[in-house]
Amino acid sequence: MTIKLSRRQMLAGAAAAAALPMPAIAQNAPIKIGLLTVKTGPLAAGGIHFEEGFVTFLKEKNYTLSGRKIDLIVADTGGNPAGAKTKAQEVVERDKVDVVLGPFAAFELLATLDYFAEAKMPTLAFAGAEDVTQRKRNAYVTRSSYTSAQCLYPLADYVLHEMKLKTAATIGDDFAFGYEQVGGFQRVLEEGGGRIVKKLWSPLNTADYAPYIAQLPQSDVVCEVLAGSNPLKFTKQARGLGVKQPLVGGSTVADDTIIAAHDESAEGLINTNPYSLDHDSEANKRFIAEMRKNYGDGVRIGHYAACFYANGQLIEATLAKTGGKADDREGFVKALRSVTLADTPRGPLSFDDYGNAVIDVYVRRAGKVNGKMANKTVKTYHKVSQFGGMDPKAFLKEPVFSRDYPPMKS
C-alpha cells in the first residue's frame, strides 16, 4: 500500500524531526592528548616525571578542561629516535590525538619534527634542541620548556657580575645538548669581557672523569653541563682530586630531582634552572601539595614535572580561547602562542614570535639543609628569551651552537 503525504504533513514531520535531540558531535567528544615520554631505559627517570606532572594537573581538574573531557594516551618512546618516530605515528594516525606533548630527548624531537609538521599536529615540545624554534621552526611545533642555552645565558651573567669571575673552563656531554649549553654560556661570558680557556667533551656513558679533570687548566670557574648521573660523578671526583675553583652548571646539573643525591662535594655549586622547588608562589605550593598527595611525600619534584604541569595550564588557557575546540589546528596553535600565564609553578610563562617559551630562570646555590643537599634561590632572571638578549634576526644569521661554534678565542 502506498501512503501519500500532503505538503503540510511533510513540513510538519520535518519540524518534529528537527526538534528531536541530535546525536553527540565532535565538540562533545573527549579531547585526546598524546604524551610521548620515556618510561624504560637510562632516560626513564625524567620521562616518568613528565607523566607525574601532567597527570597531577589533570587529576586536579578531574580530567576536564573548558567543559571537555581529556583522554590521555601515554606512549613510551624507549628514549631513541626510531621509537619516538614510531610512537608519534601511532598516536597521530591510530589514536587520532588532537595535541602531542613531548618527546623527551633532542634526538627524539629532531626525528619527529618534520612528521609533526606534515601531519599538522599541534605539539608542545620539551627537548632543548635550539633550531626547533629557530632556523627549523614550523607552524605546529611550540616549545613550552626552554632551549638548551636558555638557562646558560643567566648563568654566565651571574658568573661575571655577581661572582666577579672572568675565565672559565667547561666540560659537557659530547652531543648537541652539551654543545648548545656551552655555546650559550660562552657567548654571554665573552660579550661581558670574559673568556673560555678550555672546552672538554666527555661521552654520555663516562664512568671515570679523572682523565678529564687532569686536563682542566687554571681558570676562575669550571662550568659543567652534564646530564643524568654524570654531574654527580664529576662533581664528586673534581673535589676529590683537588679542584678548588667554584663549580657552576645548567638545568640538569643539580635539578631538585637529583640534588639530594649529591654529597658535600656539591656545597656551593651554583646552578640555573627554569623551576625551583623553593619558588614562593601559590601555584608552586599547590603543585607541590598535589604531587605529594598523588605520589607520596618522597616523590622527587623538579623541572620535568613542573614543565608538564604548566603544559596542562597552557592547554586549559588555550581551550578557553578557542571555546573548547581543538579541531581547528591552525587556530589552536595561534591561540596557544598568544597565551600569557601570570602564575605557574615555574613562574610567569609566555611565548616569543618564534614559538618558544619566555621564562624566569632561577640561580640557586647548593648547600646542606637538614643533613641533605638542597638548592636555595639566590637570584631570579625574569623574561629570559631563547636569544639571550640578542636581536633575533642577528642571532639567526649565525650558525647554531655546536662543538666548534662559537670558536675559541686565543
Give the per-residue pLDDT at 42: 81
Share of the chain above pLDDT 70, in %: 93
Q: Is residue 10, in this structure, part of any structural domain at all? A: no
The verdict on 35 and 48 lying in the same domain is yes
Q: Is residue 22, in this structure, part of any structural domain at all? A: no
The verdict on 44 and 192 lying in the same domain is no
The verdict on 191 and 248 lying in the same domain is yes
Residue 383 has pLDDT above 50, yes or no: yes
The verdict on 316 and 210 lying in the same domain is no
**Mean pLDDT (the chain, rounded):** 93
Residue 10 has pLDDT above 50, yes or no: no
The residue range of the domain holding 206 is 152-278+360-397
Pairing, β 195-202 against β 141-143: unpaired
Total-model pTM: 0.92
The verdict on 133 and 237 lying in the same domain is no
Better-predicted residue by pLDDT, 403 or 19: 403
Q: For the domain that residue 123 is a member of, what is the CATH number?
A: 3.40.50.2300
The verdict on 318 and 348 lying in the same domain is yes
pLDDT tens digits, residue range 283-337? 999 999 999 999 999 999 999 999 999 999 999 999 999 999 999 999 999 999 9
The verdict on 54 and 128 lying in the same domain is yes
Give the per-residue pLDDT at 398: 97
Q: Is residue 57, in this structure, part of any structural domain at all? A: yes
pLDDT tens digits, residue range 192-219? 999 999 999 999 889 999 999 999 999 9
Q: Is residue 4, in this structure, part of any structural domain at all? A: no
Q: Is residue 16, in this structure, part of any structural domain at all? A: no
The verdict on 350 and 206 lying in the same domain is no
Nearest to 372 by CA among 234, 217, 267, 228: 267
pLDDT tens digits, residue range 217-251? 999 999 999 998 999 999 999 999 999 999 999 99
The verdict on 204 and 342 lying in the same domain is no
- What's the structural domain count of the chain? 2
Residue 270 has pLDDT above 80, yes or no: yes
Q: Is residue 234, in this structure, part of any structural domain at all? A: yes
Mean pLDDT, range 2-20, rounded to an integer: 46
Give the per-residue pLDDT at 112: 96
The verdict on 157 and 273 lying in the same domain is yes
The verdict on 242 and 371 lying in the same domain is yes
pLDDT tens digits, residue range 163-175? 999 999 999 999 9
CB atoms within 10 A of CB 372: 11
Q: Is residue 405, in this structure, part of any structural domain at all? A: no
Give the per-residue pLDDT at 27: 59
The verdict on 255 and 183 lying in the same domain is yes
